[in-house]
A and B are shown apart, each in its own frame.
Chain A
Amino acid sequence: MSAPPTQAPLDRPALISALRARIARLERAGAAEALAARGEEVVPLSPAIDAALPWGGLPRAALHEVLAAEPGAAAGFAALVLARAGGTVLWIAPEPDAWPPGLARFGLSPAQLVLVRAPREQDALWAMEETLRCPAVGAALLVAGDLDLTAARRLQLAAEAGGVLGLLLRPDEDNAAPTAALTRWRIGAAPSGSRSPHDLGDPAWALDLLRCRGGKPATWRAAWHGDRLVTEDGAAARNAPARRRA
């Protein structure tokens, strides 16, 4: 036996979350083909964040919720996820104001981006569901207000069927209702590390992972350097309690 049984103090939570992830993978058998075509099942963010997520990244074929504490920071984070998901990306909003000259900084090229204007909520949900069911799409973002549990559950099932990564971009509210999304993030702006009053420095964000199925809530302070998301390893950031519970 090469593996000594002395390693036995099992990391039970980690084991359970790994098993849960495996079951989730088996349940998504319909999307397996689409996922296989793309190569990997998760979208990497940064090494520190990936390590904290039970899937080792942000999984495709699932719905993720982004609460925008600050519109610019949230849009930047969403662009980063969409760009890393690859392929054609749909941005569905009542009034899509995504602007490719800024999104390009996060690797999201205008050649990938398709915008859909859906002023009515039912049209927006329909468009999102159709998109999530289409394996030819890499990811889709829906700018939504309040969303009931049934609608979110439908979207989650559609994402599982199509193998598409879905993002829900919502305004930050204290009493945001629980949804069927796999993870919920709150993205706010953080003061940049620049020392000069005449230089903004790199974009810096406060990333709060509020809910995560099979994982623990966590908080990071991250900055966008060139083409990488760099988390600050400061213990202060980790210990800082989430401002609000969700």
Chain B
Amino acid sequence: MPLPLFAPLTAGSGEAAASPAGVQGAAPPGRAPQPQRRTLALLLPRLPVERLRRPGPVAVWAQRGARRVVVSVSAEASAAGLRAGQALADAQAILPEVVLVPEDPAGDAAALERLALWALRFTPLVGLVAEDGLILDITGVDHLFGGEAALREEVLGRLGRMGLTARGAVAGMAGTAVALVRGGWEGVLPTRQEAPAVAPLGLAALRLEPDLVGALQGLGLRDVGSVAAQPRAGLVRRFGAGLARALDEALGHAARPITPIRPPPEMAVARDFADPVVTREGIEAALAGLLDDLCRALREAGRGARRMLLRTHRVDGEVQDIAIGTGLATRDPKHLARLFQGKLDRLAPECGFERITLEAPRTDPLTGAQENLGTAGRTARQEELAQLLDRLSQRLPVWRLAPRASHWPERAMARADPFAPVAVPEGWAPRPRPVRLLRKPPALEVMAEVPDGPPFRLRLGRAWQRVLRAEGPERIEPEWWRDRPDRLPRDYYRVELESGARLWVCRAGPMGAEARWVLHGHLP
């Protein structure tokens, strides 16, 4: 079909006119041809009712101000004459045996989100539309299912088997597809036929505010085409920019971005199973195969994974995730399999998984290291250590302690990432300090010869012990710039008892009778 949009362009250059202009598509000359985007919009009009899976006529109702109205009805209830927007009392009068369920918007949203995760099996880019719709970017994936029409049939068929009424429309722009499916049009719309297809649709296709729809209908504008035919400036002045935006999106003049439910992974592999996988061995075998595939892809891209996500699709539509993280980029299938090993228990296969995908949401560049003569084995060593720390930190807290510029003992060391090197300043820690610092320092009873003197006898636990030697005091002042204002300075003594034990004891608070003594650490 002739493309009026590009006609002036081809006519302008004699050479280009000879070549078939249609082949280039939307790509400007000189750039690689961009694939034409294709999207599938799904509408689930009865989701609040059907997700309950109740037999017989069912209606979901909600409190709207002082009224109780029906918001969603099942197919059976609809056949009996119930419809959304009806008063609850009317619905009960029409069909007394109808099962009434109060609305649960959070549950509906969760159900839609689960469906969106389920839809990730068709394409990596899935978004939510309002509270009852999904949008799938199917650019370049339709051939896997035998064409766009076949893909649409497949999606609708699967939804139908899950007991959900669904409508679907395929179009070039996301906004057009959404408008078509909301306007009641179903099917596959070829590229660049947006305007004639959308024009006859009712105003419901645009998802406008109810009073705006009322105002437009009051003007005699009852379909999209008649609104679009009005002078744009006047429309914007009277009804705001929102209407113009909705019109442009529906007609395909403006792109409607899809906000993905999960960021599309940098790399992903998937396996489908004709027989659902139930056993642990089966899952492990599938994981091993997926890891091999993904690690090969990572090696070809020169990258290593920092995070990995195993996503399992259960037969009943439930989606379960297991995530692991690594300290350094890696693409060693054996190591990654060991990291997953401990977490596979969390999967609940029940009736089995029909699809398992493995994604690498975060990757870092990782090029093969060339061993030098002098550093032979060092990089391998580092890698082994990182793998050990990975394994440990999947199960237990692992950290390093890094020196910090603070005299206050509890702040002298800060927890640091175990994978990052710790820098130790020159001349650090010259004073004798305890090798073990007690997190919960036990209180001591202390006798001193003079009120502010060093301890003479002290009692820890049951027995009093004589102090043979005492060094101190070493006064440590609180750090007023980051401490609470009523913190008292501490006087530390290093004492040696009769038994030879060496302790780091401290007096907090004023000298004299109300001084508080604690054992803060063990000296070597």
Question: What would be 12 A-B contacts, judged by CB atoms less than 8 Å apart?
Answer: A37-B377, A72-B523, A75-B436, A99-B437, A102-B429, A102-B524, A127-B392, A130-B392, A134-B384, A200-B432, A200-B469, A201-B469
Q: Does B395 contact A (CB under 8 A)?
A: yes
What interface size band does chain A fall in?
A: 35 or more
Known A-B contacts A100-B401, A204-B500; A75 and B435 likewise in contact (beta carbons under 8 Å)? yes
Q: How far is the CB of A141 from chain B (nearest CB, A)?
A: 12
With CB as the reference atom, state the residue of chain A lying closest to B467: A197
Chain A: residues with CB nearer than 8 A to chain B? 37, 70-73, 75-77, 79, 88, 95, 97-106, 109-111, 113-118, 123, 126-127, 130-131, 134-137, 188-192, 194, 196-201, 203-206, 224
Known A-B contacts A111-B424, A123-B395, A127-B392; A102 and B436 likewise in contact (beta carbons under 8 Å)? yes
Q: Mark B413-438, 1 if CB is under 8 A from A, else 0.
A: 10000100111100011011111111
* Residue from A116, A136, A197 in contact with B384 in the complex, judged by beta carbons closer than 8 Å: A136
**Overall SS of chain B's interface:** mixed
Residues of chain A with a CB closer than 8 A to B385's CB: 88, 134, 136-137
In the complex, number of A-B residue pairs with CB atoms less than 8 Å apart: 169
* Residue from B395, B432, B468 in contact with A197 in the complex, judged by beta carbons closer than 8 Å: B468
With CB as the reference atom, state the residue of chain A lying closest to B432: A105
Q: How far is the CB of A115 from chain B (nearest CB, A)?
A: 6
Q: How far is the CB of A132 from chain B (nearest CB, A)?
A: 10
Do residues A224 and B524 form an inter-chain contact, with CB atoms below 8 A? yes
A214 to B382, CA, bound (A): 35
Q: Does B499 contact A (CB under 8 A)?
A: yes
Do residues A72 and B469 form an inter-chain contact, with CB atoms below 8 A? no
Chain B: residues with CB nearer than 8 A to chain A? 377, 381-382, 384-385, 387-389, 391-392, 395-403, 412-413, 418, 421-424, 428-429, 431-439, 468-471, 494-496, 499-503, 521-524
Known A-B contacts A75-B435, A97-B436, A110-B422; A115 and B496 likewise in contact (beta carbons under 8 Å)? no
A108 to B390, CA, bound (A): 23
What 10 A-B pairs have minimum CB-CB distances, sorted nearest first? A76-B524, A72-B522, A189-B500, A136-B384, A102-B435, A136-B385, A99-B437, A101-B433, A102-B433, A75-B435
Do residues A200 and B496 form an inter-chain contact, with CB atoms below 8 A? yes
A234 to B45, CA, bound (A): 93
Do residues B524 and A99 form an inter-chain contact, with CB atoms below 8 A? no
Residues of chain A with a CB closer than 8 A to B438's CB: 97
Do residues A135 and B384 form an inter-chain contact, with CB atoms below 8 A? yes
With CB as the reference atom, state the residue of chain A lying closest to B454: A198
Residues of chain B with a CB closer than 8 A to A204's CB: 500
Residues of chain A with a CB closer than 8 A to B400's CB: 110, 113-115
A51 to B502, CA, bound (A): 29
Residues of chain B with a CB closer than 8 A to A77's CB: 524
Do residues A72 and B434 form an inter-chain contact, with CB atoms below 8 A? yes
A4 to B495, CA, bound (A): 58
Residues of chain A with a CB closer than 8 A to B392's CB: 116, 127, 130-131
Query: A102, A118, A131, A196 — which one has the most chain B CB atoms within 10 A of its CB?
Result: A102
With CB as the reference atom, state the residue of chain A lying closest to B440: A95
Do residues B388 and A198 form an inter-chain contact, with CB atoms below 8 A? no
Residues of chain B with a CB closer than 8 A to A192's CB: 469, 496, 500
Residues of chain B with a CB closer than 8 A to A88's CB: 385
Known A-B contacts A37-B377, A99-B521; A197 and B470 likewise in contact (beta carbons under 8 Å)? yes
Do residues B435 and A76 form an inter-chain contact, with CB atoms below 8 A? yes
**Overall SS of chain A's interface:** mixed
With CB as the reference atom, state the residue of chain A lying closest to B434: A102
* Residue from A97, A109, A134, A205 in contact with B388 in the complex, judged by beta carbons closer than 8 Å: A134
Q: How far is the CB of A190 from chain B (nearest CB, A)?
A: 5
Q: How far is the CB of B507 from chain A (nearest CB, A)?
A: 17
Extra inter-chain contacts (17) besides given A76-B524, A97-B439, CB under 8 Å: A72-B502, A104-B428, A105-B433, A110-B400, A113-B400, A115-B399, A115-B400, A115-B401, A116-B396, A134-B384, A189-B500, A189-B501, A192-B469, A197-B469, A197-B470, A204-B500, A205-B524
* Residue from A37, A101, A131, A199 in contact with B469 in the complex, judged by beta carbons closer than 8 Å: A199
Known A-B contacts A135-B384, A198-B470; A190 and B436 likewise in contact (beta carbons under 8 Å)? no
Known A-B contacts A88-B385, A188-B500, A192-B496; A117 and B522 likewise in contact (beta carbons under 8 Å)? no
A110 to B469, CA, bound (A): 30
Residues of chain A with a CB closer than 8 A to B470's CB: 197-198
Residues of chain B with a CB closer than 8 A to A134's CB: 384-385, 387-388
Residues of chain A with a CB closer than 8 A to B494's CB: 200
Q: How far is the CB of A207 from chain B (nearest CB, A)?
A: 13
Known A-B contacts A115-B398, A203-B524; A101 and B500 likewise in contact (beta carbons under 8 Å)? no
Do residues A75 and B524 form an inter-chain contact, with CB atoms below 8 A? yes
* Residue from A79, A104, A205, A224 in contact with B429 in the complex, judged by beta carbons closer than 8 Å: A104
Residues of chain A with a CB closer than 8 A to B389's CB: 114
Q: How far is the CB of A76 from chain B (nearest CB, A)?
A: 3
Do residues B424 and A99 form an inter-chain contact, with CB atoms below 8 A? no
Q: How far is the CB of A130 from chain B (nearest CB, A)?
A: 6
Do residues A114 and B398 form an inter-chain contact, with CB atoms below 8 A? yes
A37 to B378, CA, bound (A): 10
Residues of chain B with a CB closer than 8 A to A105's CB: 429, 432-433, 435, 524
Residues of chain B with a CB closer than 8 A to A117's CB: 396-398
Query: A70, A71, A194 — which one has the most chain B CB atoms within 10 A of its CB?
Result: A71
A116 to B387, CA, bound (A): 15
Query: A72, A104, A135, A201 — which one has the most chain B CB atoms within 10 A of its CB?
Result: A72
Residues of chain A with a CB closer than 8 A to B522's CB: 70-72, 75
Residues of chain B with a CB closer than 8 A to A194's CB: 469
A103 to B400, CA, bound (A): 14
* Residue from A71, A201, A205 in contact with B436 in the complex, judged by beta carbons closer than 8 Å: A71
A111 to B398, CA, bound (A): 14
Do residues B396 and A100 form an inter-chain contact, with CB atoms below 8 A? no
Do residues B437 and A97 form an inter-chain contact, with CB atoms below 8 A? yes
Do residues A102 and B523 form an inter-chain contact, with CB atoms below 8 A? yes
A104 to B412, CA, bound (A): 13
Do residues A137 and B388 form an inter-chain contact, with CB atoms below 8 A? yes
Q: How far is the CB of A34 from chain B (nearest CB, A)?
A: 9
Q: How far is the CB of B47 from chain A (nearest CB, A)?
A: 44
With CB as the reference atom, state the residue of chain B lying closest to A100: B401
Known A-B contacts A111-B424, A123-B395; A72 and B412 likewise in contact (beta carbons under 8 Å)? no
Do residues B413 and A101 form an inter-chain contact, with CB atoms below 8 A? yes
A73 to B522, CA, bound (A): 8
A130 to B335, CA, bound (A): 13
Known A-B contacts A113-B400, A114-B399, A136-B385; A198 and B436 likewise in contact (beta carbons under 8 Å)? no
A47 to B499, CA, bound (A): 27
Known A-B contacts A72-B501, A114-B400, A130-B391; A106 and B524 likewise in contact (beta carbons under 8 Å)? yes
* Residue from B377, B387, B402, B434 in contact with A110 in the complex, judged by beta carbons closer than 8 Å: B402
A75 to B438, CA, bound (A): 13
